[in-house]
């Protein structure tokens, strides 16, 4: 039996070689054959899994005029950076008191920022507490005779460096130490023969060791002056001026660095600096803005006591600070830490105009509109302990007033 197959087209691979018969004929030595009627197999693609959406870490946004990033969760810790309003950083931790956020990163290293200066975003429930040491086994006591050592003492005077230009440029021409920053050079020179009578500058530095509280810093200067407290620029009046008095208030505790920079343009030259505690146990830190949306830096920051109600302001048609803040189109923010017994609480506000209230960054009251009147909201199962309350307010026009308070359900209310 013979099988007859239809002709097919093939593709042949091979090489041509000469025949060894004395002729010029050549033959092909076949290396591979491919039938053209059999298309090559198409590989079946392996299905790939749809990638899960990437969830962003919780992050924070700087809400004030700027903020200071520190190496540790303390106002006395070293300053890593000054960052402007609107900056965003991922949150990677929090301290045990829940007053500081750890963020990533400054120069590749994590830093710390005080919580009242920022607005956290995202799910904060899984943010770890950083710095809580794990329990360790109780070691066997070993009696060791202590080696006497001297307790370091902070200097109680100021280092001062003078420059023969108005911009603190180059190396100082003269350096010394002084007991106080209180000078009236008049038409003369701080260091006759070395420092000129005009167009000079100076830098004063010292570390204060203070009891915790709210402090008021005051400086009078002719001409320009800048003051840093704990690395934060709190007074920035770098311009020619007659000797006005500039003030700023900050909450500080323990060793706190102070830096003062001054320049004299011409005419009379003087500078006087002082500080004093105004409240050891502040309730509210109040920041006032000359606009209705709390934008830019506050034009006045003050410590205010808790009243009954907790905030109770009645400005009527006046300004909170005449000559500094307008009577209309201004806003304010109050931040404080208060102790709560565990349980359900009712928060209420009466405002003309808008008001908002947060507890531990959770929005409880939201009446951000012109003259909302009275609003209230119950917050269930507040844990026993300290909690941060933040209140924001704006005044559009007409009468200006705000009252805010809270009470545990079943207790006597204050309104």
Strand partners, 174: 162
Which residues in 71-170 belong to E strands, given as ranges? Answer: 79-84, 88-94, 100-106, 109-114, 118-121, 158-163
pLDDT in tens, 253-297: 889 999 999 999 999 999 999 999 876 655 888 999 999 999 998
The pLDDT score that the predictor gives to residue 200 is 98
Assign 144 a pLDDT band (cuts: 50, 70, 90).
Answer: very low
**CATH superfamily of the domain spanning 286-408:** Galactose-binding domain-like (2.60.120.260)
Q: Are 208 and 255 in contact, with CB atoms under 8 Å apart?
A: yes
The pLDDT score that the predictor gives to residue 302 is 86
The three-point CA angle 237-251-68 to 5° equals 65
What predicted TM-score, i.e. pTM, was given to this entire model?
A: 0.41
Range 35-48 average pLDDT: 59
CATH topology of domain 158-279: Jelly Rolls (2.60.120)
For the chain, what is the mean pLDDT? 83
Q: Which residues contact 169 (CB under 8 A, 6 or more apart)?
A: 163
Backbone dihedral angles phi then psi of residue 147, each to the nearest 5 degrees = -90, 125
Q: Which of 135-144, 317-326, 372-381 has the lowest mean pLDDT?
A: 135-144
Residue 43 has pLDDT above 60, yes or no: no
158-279 and 286-408 share one fold: yes
Residue 394 has pLDDT above 50, yes or no: yes
Strand partners, 245: 220
Assign 405 a pLDDT band (cuts: 50, 70, 90).
Answer: very high
Domain boundaries, the chain: 61-121, 158-279, 286-408
Range 160-173 average pLDDT: 95
**CATH superfamily of the domain spanning 61-121:** SH3 Domains (2.30.30.40)
pLDDT in tens, 300-332: 988 888 888 999 999 999 999 999 999 999 999
Q: Which residues contact 220 (CB under 8 A, 6 or more apart)?
A: 243, 244, 245, 246, 270, 271, 272, 273
Assign 22 a pLDDT band (cuts: 50, 70, 90).
Answer: low
Q: Which of 41-45, 231-235, 253-257, 310-314 has the lowest mean pLDDT?
A: 41-45
User: Token digits for 294?
Assistant: 């709390």
Residue 45 or 235, more confident:
235
The pLDDT score that the predictor gives to residue 1 is 47
């Amino acid at each position: 039996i013979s099988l007859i197959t239809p002709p097919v087209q093939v593709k042949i691979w091979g090489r041509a070689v000469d025949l060894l018969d004395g002729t010029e004929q050549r033959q092909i030595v076949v290396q591979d054959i491919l039938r053209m009627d059999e298309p090559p197999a198409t590989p079946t693609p392996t299905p790939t899994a749809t990638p899960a959406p990437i969830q962003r870490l919780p992050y924070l946004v700087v809400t004030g005029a700027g903020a200071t990033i520190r190496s540790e969760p303390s106002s006395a810790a070293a300053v890593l950076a000054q960052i402007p309003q609107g900056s965003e950083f991922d949150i990677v931790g929090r301290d045990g008191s829940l007053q500081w956020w750890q963020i990533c990163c400054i120069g590749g290293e994590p830093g710390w920022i005080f919580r009242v200066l920022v607005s956290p975003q995202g799910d904060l429930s899984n943010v770890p507490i950083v710095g809580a040491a794990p329990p360790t086994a109780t070691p066997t006591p070993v009696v060791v005779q202590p080696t006497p050592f001297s307790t370091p003492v902070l200097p109680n005077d100021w280092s001062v460096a003078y420059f023969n230009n108005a911009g603190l440029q180059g190396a100082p021409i003269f350096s010394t130490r002084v007991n106080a920053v209180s000078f009236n050079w008049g038409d003369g020179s701080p260091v006759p023969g070395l420092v000129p009578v005009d167009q000079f500058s100076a830098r004063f530095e010292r570390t204060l060791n203070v009891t915790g509280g709210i402090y008021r810093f005051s400086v009078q200067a002719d001409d320009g002056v800048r003051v840093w407290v704990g690395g934060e620029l709190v007074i920035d009046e770098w311009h020619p001026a007659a000797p006005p008095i500039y003030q700023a208030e900050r909450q500080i505790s323990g060793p706190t660095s102070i830096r003062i920079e001054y320049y004299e343009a011409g005419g009379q030259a003087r500078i006087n600096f002082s500080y004093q505690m105004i409240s050891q146990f502040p309730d509210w830190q109040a920041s006032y803005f000359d606009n209705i949306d709390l934008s830019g830096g506050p034009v006045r920051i003050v410590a205010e006591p808790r009243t009954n109600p907790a905030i109770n302001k009645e400005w009527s048609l006046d300004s909170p600070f005449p000559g500094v803040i307008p009577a209309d189109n201004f806003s304010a923010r109050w931040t404080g830490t208060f102790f709560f017994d565990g349980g359900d609480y009712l928060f209420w506000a009466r405002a003309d105009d808008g008001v908002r209230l947060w507890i531990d960054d959770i929005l409880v009251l939201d009446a951000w509109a012109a003259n909302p009147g009275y609003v209230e909201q119950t917050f269930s199962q507040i844990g026993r302990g300290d909690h941060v309350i933040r209140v924001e307010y704006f005044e559009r026009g007409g009468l200006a007033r705000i009252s805010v308070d809270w009470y545990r359900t079943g207790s006597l209310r204050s309104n």
